[in-house]
Amino acid sequence: MQMSADRKPQPARAGTMGLNVGDVMIGIGSFINAIINFLIVAFVLFVVIKTINSLHKKPAEPEAPAEPTTKVCPYCQSEISIKAVRCPHCTSKLEGFPEINN
Ligand SMILES: [Zn+2]
């Protein structure tokens, strides 16, 4: 086996584009091929991991219904505040109206 100092850099073969770096010839075609292969593998891995993540995602729990803040007046069927003791629409006395007796 010869020492590397004895070897001459190999010129690019006819019909191939390449770059000589020391004793190594880097072919442009194989470099582009490696980039394309990397992009394909990266895209496939991205799709696979995204699919696995979507399978592991738990369905969102339905939120508990919010506390009601309104009620319907039994006399005029208007929507009024749940704290109202007198209907603002028909002035009917509702449950909880304080009776003042003199
Ligand atoms: Zn009413």
Quote the CA–CA distance of 21 and 16 in Å, as a whole number: 15
Q: Check residue 88 and give its pLDDT.
A: 93
Q: Check residue 101 and give its pLDDT.
A: 72
Quote the CA–CA distance of 86 and 98 in Å, as a whole number: 10
Ligand 1 centroid – CA 100 distance (Å): 21
Q: Check residue 66 and give its pLDDT.
A: 86
Quote the CA–CA distance of 100 and 102 in Å, as a whole number: 7
- Per-residue pLDDT of the chain (102 residues), as tens digits, is 444 556 555 555 556 678 888 888 888 888 999 999 999 999 999 999 999 999 988 777 888 888 889 999 999 999 999 999 999 999 988 888 888 776
DSSP 16-83: --EEEETTEEEEHHHHHHHHHHHHHHHHHHHHHHHHHHHHHPPPPPPPPPPPP-EEE-TTT--EEETT
Ligand 1 centroid – CA 94 distance (Å): 9
Ligand 1 centroid – CA 66 distance (Å): 24
Ligand 1 centroid – CA 102 distance (Å): 26
The three-class DSSP label of residue 86 is strand
Ligand 1 centroid – CA 78 distance (Å): 6
Ligand 1 centroid – CA 99 distance (Å): 18
Ligand 1 centroid – CA 71 distance (Å): 10
